[in-house]
Amino acid sequence: MPSTDSIARLLISCPDRPGIVAAVSSFLYSHAVNITTLDQYSTDPEGGTFLSRLEFHTPHMDVSGPALEKAFAETVAARFDMRWHISYAARVKRTAILVSRLDHCLLELLWLWRRGKLPTDIALVASNHDELRPVVEGFGIPFHHVPVAPGPEGRARAEARLLELTEGVDLVVLARYMQILSGAFVAHFPLRIINIHHSFLPAFVGANPYQKAYDKGVKLIGATAHYVIEELDAGPIIEQDVARVTHRHDIGALKDLGRDLERQILARAVRWHLEDRILLNGNKTVIFD
Q: Which residues are catalytic?
A: 233
Task: Please report how the helices 251-274 and 104-114 are oriented relative to each other, as an axis angle in degrees rounded to 10.
Answer: 40
Contact 57, 117 (CB under 8 A): no
In whole angstroms, what is the distance from residue 262 CA to residue 169 CA?
23
Side-chain-side CA neighbours of residue 181 (13 Å): 28
Q: In 247-260, which positions are buried (b, 16+ CB within 10 angstroms) versus exposed (e)?
A: eebeeeebbebbbe
Contact 198, 122 (CB under 8 A): no
Strand arrangement, sheet containing 193-197: 143-145, 121-127, 94-99, 171-174, 193-197, 220-227, 237-244
| Of the candidates 218, 180, 217, the residue with the CA atom closest to the CA atom of residue 197 | 180
Helix residue ranges per DSSP H, 98-219:
104-114, 133-138, 152-165, 183-187, 209-216
Contact 20, 14 (CB under 8 A): yes
Contact 90, 61 (CB under 8 A): no
Report CA dihedral (178, 182, 187, 189) to the nearest 10 degrees.
-20
In whole angstroms, what is the distance from residue 116 CA to residue 271 CA?
11
Report residue 216: phi and psi, to 5°. -80, -20
